[in-house]
């Protein structure tokens, strides 16, 4: 494995080598407000208009995100088994 002086990026020892990047720094309240103030349209890209919308959109239109990531028996590095 090779790493920089700060330890990033670092190679992950697996069957095939990959690069693990450090997580992003948390946004401040002002930065988060700036993102949410962007003019999002909350609709699909206009390219889908001629096709009548996004395929399968009706199935997920009112879906709620109940989790992010794996809620199975995955254990992240450093987590207690």
Does this model's pTM top 0.95?
no
Contact 11, 1 (CB under 8 A): yes
Distance CA 43, CA 53 (A): 9
Does residue 25 sit in helix, strand or coil?
coil
Q: Which residue has the tokens 């809620």?
A: 71
pLDDT digits (tens, 9 = 90+) for 61-80: 787 766 655 656 565 555 55
Q: What does the pLDDT read at residue 31?
A: 93
In this model, does residue 10 exceed pLDDT 70? no
């Amino acid at each position: 494995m090779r790493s920089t002086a700060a330890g990033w990026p670092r190679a992950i020892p697996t069957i095939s080598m990959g690069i693990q990047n450090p997580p992003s720094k948390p946004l401040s309240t002002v930065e988060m407000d700036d993102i949410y103030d962007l003019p999002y349209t909350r609709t699909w890209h206009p390219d889908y208009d001629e096709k009548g919308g996004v395929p399968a959109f009706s199935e997920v239109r009112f879906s709620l995100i109940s989790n992010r990531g794996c809620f199975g028996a995955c254990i992240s590095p450093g987590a207690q088994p």
